[in-house]
Amino acid sequence: MPTPLPIAITAGTAGPWRITAIAALAGASLPQAARLAMHEGPDVPPPGAWQLRGVANSNLRYTAEVERARLAGVQQGLGRPGATRAALIPMSKSEAWWDLAQDARRALLEEQSQHIAIGLEYLPAVARRLIHCRDQGGEFDFLTWFEFAPEHEVAFDQLLARLRATAEWGYVTREVEVRLTRD
């Protein structure tokens, strides 16, 4: 795992991803825009219609060694040629969540909600990136990014439905889903 990598996700008129839908699941939505790009590195591109920034490749927050090994055995990276569908899901959790000590957040996330175990079922079809922004003063607490082939979109929708039914999601205060197609 390399050192933390600054990320800027910019929506506007340019970028390899065409925005096909923007929908708010909780809290305020994001403005409509035509295209989207994810930029890596410290040089921040122009802000476009809207821009979300954070850091990828940070240290693991909840995953245990045995889980990390299981994930590493099957997960695949971003940018696969066949992965022409993506979803950007920026999220925030409540103060009640962030107030919890580490063991309580871990227990909610995995022992109660099986967040890691459920996600594992959808690997390698769904490739993921987690971008943190709460400590950077961002509008959201984190930005989640998923890439998959068109034939795996139904499975991805099922993954989202299962996660959103968990106890962990009871702490989600804002969630916006941005669907994307690379063309």
Judged by the rule CB under 8 A, the positions of this chain that interact with its own copies are 1, 3-4, 6, 42, 55, 58-65, 67-68, 95, 98-106, 132, 134-137
Q: Are 130 and 137 in contact (CB under 8 A)?
A: no
Q: Which of 125, 160, 173 is closest to 26 using CA atoms?
A: 173
Q: How far is the CB of 176 from its own copies (least distance, A)?
A: 20
Which lies closer to its own copies via its Cβ, residue 31 or residue 42?
A: 42
Which lies closer to its own copies via its Cβ, residue 65 or residue 183?
A: 65
Sign of CA dihedral 56, 59, 62, 68: positive
Which lies closer to its own copies via its Cβ, residue 99 or residue 183?
A: 99
Q: What is the 3-state secondary structure (H, E, C) of 78-146?
A: CCCCCCCEEEEEEEEECHHHHHCCHHHHHHHHHHHCCHHHHHHHCCCCCEEEEEECHHHCCCCCEEEEE
d(CA 17, CA 38): 9
**Residue 155: enclosing H or E segment and its boundaries?**
helix 153-164
Which lies closer to its own copies via its Cβ, residue 73 or residue 82?
A: 73
Which lies closer to its own copies via its Cβ, residue 105 or residue 129?
A: 105
Q: How far is the CB of 140 from its own copies (least distance, A)?
A: 13
H helices then E strands: how many in the chain?
A: 5, 8
Q: How far is the CB of 125 from its own copies (least distance, A)?
A: 23
Q: How far is the CB of 148 from its own copies (least distance, A)?
A: 25
Which lies closer to its own copies via its Cβ, residue 112 or residue 136?
A: 136
Q: How far is the CB of 33 from its own copies (least distance, A)?
A: 27
Q: How far is the CB of 41 from its own copies (least distance, A)?
A: 11
Residues in the chain: 183
